[in-house]
A = this chain, B = another copy of it.
Amino acid sequence: MKLSLLFSLVAFAVSALGSKPTPPALTLLFSATVNKGSALIIESSSTGLKAVQAITDGSFSGPKMKGTVTTGIATSVKGPNGLKVEATFVLQTSDGANILITERAAIPYVEAIFETGAEAYDWLNNVTAWATPRSLSNIDYLDYWQC
């Protein structure tokens, strides 16, 4: 009964099984500049590197939303299996909404999800985004694509 509640939430068509998969269309969500503080090295050895960086500020702008980047943090781990990064920061839109963005990256690729209680941006709660930085440094430039 309660599970029907769970599943009824999910409204999408069940495609015919066995059909040939077709790739999703991507649309630009926004482009962002994300400024970070200097890296605090937690661990650095011949076998790996772990570092933390504050996300201090920045800006973003796109077809449906624009505003500033604020408070956040990025944790990067370079281990035997590549460079993985986790980042959490807040987007403040020009019309006053706070949107939490949480990212996981297998560099050079970044996956993002969003969370907000602002009604005007409720659609973001059911969106995933994908980005790849145009450079990797204390300033990141990224285009976020809605998948």
> Measured between alpha carbons, how far is A25 from B25 in the docked complex, in Å?
9
Q: Which residue of B lies closest to A147 (CB)?
A: B130
Distance to closest chain B CB from A78 (angstroms): 6
Given contacts A23-B145, A26-B24, A116-B43, contact A7 B136 (CB under 8 A): yes
Number of interface residues of A (CB under 8 A): 84
> Measured between alpha carbons, how far is A44 from B117 in the docked complex, in Å?
7
Given contacts A70-B40, A72-B73, A130-B130, contact A108 B10 (CB under 8 A): yes
> Measured between alpha carbons, how far is A145 from B23 in the docked complex, in Å?
7
**A-to-B contact residues, CB < 8 Å:** 2-3, 5-7, 9-10, 12, 14-15, 17, 21, 23-28, 31, 37, 39-54, 70-73, 75-76, 78-84, 88, 90, 92, 98-100, 102, 104-111, 113-117, 122, 125-128, 130, 132, 134-137, 141, 143, 145, 147
